[in-house]
Amino acid sequence: MAVATLVAAGCAVGPDYRKPTVEIPASFKEGVDWQRAEANPQASLSSTWWLDYHDDTLTHLIEQSLKANQSIAQAEAAYRLAQATVLANTSSLFPTITAGASGSRAGTGTGAASSGSSATSVSAPGVRNSVSANLSASWELDLWGQVRREVESAKESAQASDAQLAGERLSIAAAVATDYFQLRQADVDIDLLKQQQQIDTRILEMTQASFKEGISSNDDVLTAQDTLEVVIADLQSTETTREQDEHAIAVLLGVPPGGFSIEPQQHYAFVTPAVPLAVPSQLLLRRYDVVSAERTAAAANAKIGAAEAAFFPTLTLSAEGGYQHSALANLFSLPNRFWTLGPALAGTIFDGGARTAAVREARATYDENVASYRQAVLTAFQNVEDGLSSWNHLQQQADAYAHIYRRNQQLFDSEHAQFQIGTASEQALLTQQLTLLLAQQNLSDTQALLTQSSVSLVKNLGGGWQWDDAKGVGVDAVAVSGQQPATATVSALPAR
């Protein structure tokens, strides 16, 4: 019987898991120019990718958010819960052993004894003591693998939770970086808009003076007033954006926005690091959402076996033994011992289709999770393609605005030289300066968007995290590959 039990215990009903097949492209469509530009396109991202932006303030903010953000704390608690579930399910593989001891003293009066209707229902009058100690064990054998499938499902759910935790940390870090660069973009824009406001105010004053002298028309005055008001309105909108970005960063850091502020930097130079581009097949291991969806499908597959095991009978081995006597001094002696030992076999004969419905539910859940996994893969490829597309076009846009800025700088220098020798008016010089400031703002905004695009690309590529199939854990991609993080290339705003 013991041999038969061990053989049966090696069985586990239900399908063994195989990773769902997905269509993987050979290369990224929008990554051709990127791969040509990068010396090492297969290099691994660093898990501390934000250091490549060389901004101590940004580094401090991200590190603080990783410690105090409430969404990360929630994800960590969910992961601990998943680990506890694994331990709870694993405990079902082992027997349950309990021990107990009791003592009682009871008395029966002569009247109570004589009023009994039968000799067995009421004891003889007097005082009695009872002392007992017992030890019991019960073990439900996992003959059909139901418990093992539950453990398997719990482990894979915990792995999915681990990937979700890594994803939450990456999302928070990327959100802090994006909001921070938007705030710095607002800093530069506010400074440029204030300069434009000063120039437009001066042009309005000159236009009003010319109108009084009969040189300019009232329409010229109205146009100058409108131009100034538009700049004032843009300035208010930009200041609102900066304040809201500051509030968003405070919440990401887990602090109230009212007591949080970041010192402005009007001349911030945006840095764009070189982000190593992985091949599409590697993306399946580097994207936390893809890994989480795949592990969730694996957990659902194990649930099918657990549901199918309910069709088979359960075998429980139980044993109990102990001592019972009227006095504690003589309790532990052979004449006072008692014991029971025996197996119990039980199975469900009729349940109205509940077990069949449970199996169908498990299979439907698995199919749903497989579809979610394949959709996550498609979304991951789309995110990377979108990021590469944005990067490529923003890079060309930044180059164009840089050329425009340099030409306008030359035009302003020429206008300034003419103004100094008296061949150009002050208003013409101010108008050319406005054009130069607008070109500088366009260039700065594009460089800010390019930096934000690099953050988005880092996030879409997994942010230096990847899944180790052999170990069943998430690890730092640099630690796995043994490669060094990518070096940063600076794309700073041209000097004025």
CA-based nearest residue to 336, from 41, 133, 89? 133
Instruction: Tell me what pLDDT residue 338 has.
Output: 83
Task: Please state which of the ranges 122-126, 337-341, 398-402, 467-471 shows the lowest mean pLDDT.
Answer: 122-126
Give CA–CA dist 347/365, Å, rounded.
26
Instruction: Tell me what pLDDT residue 365 has.
Output: 96
Instruction: Tell me what pLDDT residue 115 has.
Output: 65
Instruction: Tell me what pLDDT residue 39 has.
Output: 39
The H or E element that residue 124 is part of is none
| pLDDT over threshold 80, residue 4 | no
In angstroms, how far is the first alpha carbon of the chain from the final one?
A: 90
The DSSP code sequence of 215-240 is SS-HHHHHHHHHHHHHHHHHHHHHHH
Task: Please state which of the ranges 103-117, 293-307, 324-338 shows the lowest mean pLDDT.
Answer: 103-117
The H or E element that residue 363 is part of is helix 354-420
Domain residue extents for the chain: 2-94+128-490
- 147 pLDDT band (50/70/90 cuts)? very high
- 496 pLDDT band (50/70/90 cuts)? very low
- Mean pLDDT within 24-28: 81
**For strand 488-490 and strand 465-468, is the pairing parallel, antiparallel, or unpaired?**
unpaired
Task: Please state which of the ranges 22-26, 173-177, 304-308, 452-456 shows the lowest mean pLDDT.
Answer: 22-26
Task: Please state which of the ranges 70-84, 195-209, 313-327 shows the lowest mean pLDDT.
Answer: 313-327
Give CA–CA dist 187/266, Å, rounded.
5
Mean pLDDT, all residues of the chain: 86
pTM: 0.85
Residues 305, 310, 315, 319: is their CA dihedral positive or negative? positive
Instruction: Tell me what pLDDT residue 50 has.
Output: 95
CA-based nearest residue to 316, from 74, 494, 138? 138
Q: For residue 349, what is the DSSP state?
A: S
- 488 pLDDT band (50/70/90 cuts)? very low
Give CA–CA dist 184/263, Å, rounded.
10
What value does the CA radius of gyration of the chain take, rounded to a whole number of Å? 38
CA-based nearest residue to 210, from 197, 228, 193, 223? 223
Q: What homologous superfamily is domain 2-94+128-490 in, according to CATH?
A: Outer membrane efflux proteins (OEP) (1.20.1600.10)
Instruction: Tell me what pLDDT residue 44 has.
Output: 65
Structural tokens at position 348: 């469900």
Q: Which residues contact 407 (CB under 8 A, 6 or more apart)?
A: none
Give CA–CA dist 53/271, Å, rounded.
6
| Burial call 439-461: b when 16+ CB within 10 Å, e when fewer | bbbbbbbbbbbbbbbbbbbbbbb
Instruction: Tell me what pLDDT residue 452 has.
Output: 96
- Mean pLDDT within 368-394: 94
- Tell me the pLDDT tens digit for each residue of 76-90: 999 999 999 999 999
Instruction: Tell me what pLDDT residue 327 has.
Output: 77
